[in-house]
Amino acid sequence: MKAMLLALTGGILLPFAFAPFGYALVAPLSLALLFRVWLNASPSKAALYGYLFGLGQFGIGVSWVFVSMYEYGGSDVFSAAGLTALFVAYLALFPALAGWLGVKAGGGSILVRTLLVFPAAWVVTEWLRGWLFSGFPWLQIGYSQTDTGLRGIAPVFGVFGVGWLLAVLAGLLLSAWLLDRRGRRFALLGAAVVLVGSTQFAKVQWTHPAGDPIQVTLLQGNVSQDQKWRPEAKTTTVQMYVDMTRQHWDSRLIIWPETAVPAFYQQVAESFLAPLEAEARQHGVDVLVGVPYYEAQGNRYYNALVTLGAKPGRYFKRHLVPFGEFLPLRPVLAFVLDILQIPLADFTAGAHRQTLLQAAGYPLIASICYEDIFGQESLTGLPEGAYLVNVTNDAWFGDSFAPHQHWQKARMRALETGRYMLRATNTGVTGIIDAGGRPVAVAPMFEREALTGMMQPMAGATPYALWGDWPAVGLCAGIVGICFARRRRNVSSHQGRQAEPGGN
């Protein structure tokens, strides 16, 4: 019972390491509690403890899913609570798998298990959660360190590299607590090496300016989600964004949020967007507009970002949101549509490789909504792209943890790629992030705002932009695999000795 309570407590504490709380030190302490109960557990018990940890972690950390379904999805309180609980129960399977893997592959000294096996198993299962069934990489532990010395690892090994070192640090803290004086010294020295080494990496400039800074304006319309798609509000909403744009012709680039236009591009192209594009060209300004796009050939619908200005172009969202833009496993999960009164649009995913949009004289890496939470996908188009643009609509989640956690992930993308991130949202968080992942300018949430600031185009490539997630994930998978093989060989050898004449 004590072990179960420790595991659950550790999971409940972990979300407080992330935005909006930002108590980054909680993350290694939380994992240290989990590793402690794994040390003396069987594989099945370790899975149980990992599952309890996951229930606490996701029960607190993704509670905003309930807000989305109940306040904006049209479901009743019991259905929203039930579906949220089901989602949390699914996500908790991944820490459970980490526990089973860690103990099954473990063995040997405390240091081997806490510094090698457990951290590697944790990262492997986080990576698995990030792509299985379209992926949900929320609350991956590396994101909690965007404001600590460990952030220096992100441009080299990405969020998984940061997460792995964080888990190793948790193992070192646990070892310092459990081992004798000599072991304690080793653990504390190891922790110091991790922290100092990460800080030194943070001083390296992996990318460099590609030209002069550019003035940009990001529009935050603050359109209520329950009013956004009403037919009578379409003209008013589009005109509001047009008026805000015309007030900022002194900027070189103006960006509207995701689906800022509550109508298909073809429905407003002549009446609103064509005149606006003509004005933009006269002023030498480019405008990026979030708008649904209909393609008659094939009868396909896309969530799009369209460029108005010197070089027109469009980007179609590649990674669609399950249950919001498409229904996964439709034969099994069709009942969800009867609960959620969200008009499922059945959007089509855009091609993986698309021609880069160009705005303000430079090619850019575009992402829509939660595409920016997938680090590997943000690398497509690098190092050609000079900056990152994300447009989103987090109004679905109200004033919950979600917008702040999403903003933290956008900061990690800037840090990993060594590129500025320009992020325009409907209700917030709208802001400019520099190439080191630091906020330059941030608009107040839930207010209509035109945020103006400077953006620096960048050139060059970070090691992460060249390698992606594979070095960090491959290292962790290799550790788990080697430890598994070593454990099986030892068991087989022990069984062989017992089978010999006179064996015990």
Catalytic residues: 258, 317, 369
Report how far apart the first and last C-alpha atoms of the chain are (Å, whole number): 35
Q: List, for residues 101-145, the tens digit of each pLDDT value.
A: 999 998 778 899 999 999 999 999 999 999 998 899 999 999 999
Give the distance, in angstroms, between the CA of residue 210 and the centroid of all CA atoms in the same chain.
27
CA distances from 380 to 208, 306, 316, 377, 417 (A): 19, 18, 14, 6, 11
The structure tokens listed for 320 are: 């669609």
Q: Percent of the chain at pLDDT above 70?
A: 92
DSSP letter (8 states) at residue 63: T
Q: How confident is the model at residue 492 (pLDDT cuts 50, 70, 90)?
A: low
Q: How many Å is the Cα radius of gyration of the chain?
A: 24
Rounded-to-integer distance, Cα 235 and Cα 295, Å = 22
Q: What is the mean pLDDT of residues 480-502?
A: 70
**Does the structure show a pLDDT above 80 at 332?**
no
Least trusted range by pLDDT, from 14-23, 369-378, 490-499:
490-499
Work out the number of other CB atoms within 10 angstroms of the CB of residue 390.
30
Q: List, for residues 349-366, the tens digit of each pLDDT value.
A: 999 889 999 999 999 999
Q: List, for residues 412-428, the tens digit of each pLDDT value.
A: 999 999 999 999 999 98
Q: What is the mean pLDDT of residues 455-461?
A: 98
| Residue 346 φ/ψ, nearest 5 degrees | 50, 55
Cβ atoms of residues 310 and 286 within 8 Å: yes
Cβ atoms of residues 101 and 119 within 8 Å: no
pLDDT of 344: 47
> In order of start, what are the domains of the chain with their CATH numbers?
2-204+469-498 (no CATH), 209-459 (3.60.110.10)
Cβ atoms of residues 171 and 117 within 8 Å: no
Higher pLDDT, 226 or 9: 9
**Does the structure show a pLDDT above 50 at 16?**
yes
Q: What is the mean pLDDT of residues 381-396?
A: 94
**Does the structure show a pLDDT above 60 at 193?**
yes
Q: List, for residues 155-183, the tens digit of each pLDDT value.
A: 999 999 999 999 999 999 999 999 888 88
Q: What is the mean pLDDT of residues 37-50?
A: 96
Q: How confident is the model at residue 327 (pLDDT cuts 50, 70, 90)?
A: low
Q: How confident is the model at residue 346 (pLDDT cuts 50, 70, 90)?
A: confident
**Does the structure show a pLDDT above 90 at 439?**
yes
DSSP letter (8 states) at residue 143: G
Contacts 24+ apart (CB under 8 A), 403-407: 403/427, 403/428, 403/429, 403/445, 404/19, 404/20, 404/429, 405/18, 405/19, 405/20, 405/61, 405/138, 405/139, 405/143, 406/370, 406/372, 406/373, 407/19, 407/431
Q: List, for residues 463-472, the tens digit of each pLDDT value.
A: 999 999 999 9
Of 18, 107, 125, the closest CA to residue 62 belongs to 18
Rounded-to-integer distance, Cα 239 and Cα 233, Å = 10
HEC string of 73-129 equals CCCCHHHHHHHHHHHHHHHCHHHHHHHHHHHHHCCCCHHHHHHHHHHHHHHHHHHHH
DSSP string, 243-272: HHHHTTTTSSEEE--TT-SSS-HHHHIIII
**Does the structure show a pLDDT above 80 at 191?**
yes
**Does the structure show a pLDDT above 80 at 73?**
no
pLDDT of 20: 95
pLDDT of 233: 80
Of 49, 25, 176, the closest CA to residue 111 belongs to 176
Task: Give the largest Cα separation in the chain, rounded.
Answer: 94
Q: Exposed (0-12), middle (13-18) or buried (19+): which is 25, by Cβ within 10 Å?
A: exposed
pLDDT of 209: 97
Angle between helices 470-499 and 93-105 (to 10 degrees): 50
pLDDT of 395: 85
> Which one-letter amino acid corresponds to residue 324?
G
CB-based contacts of 298, cutoff 8 Å, min separation 6: none
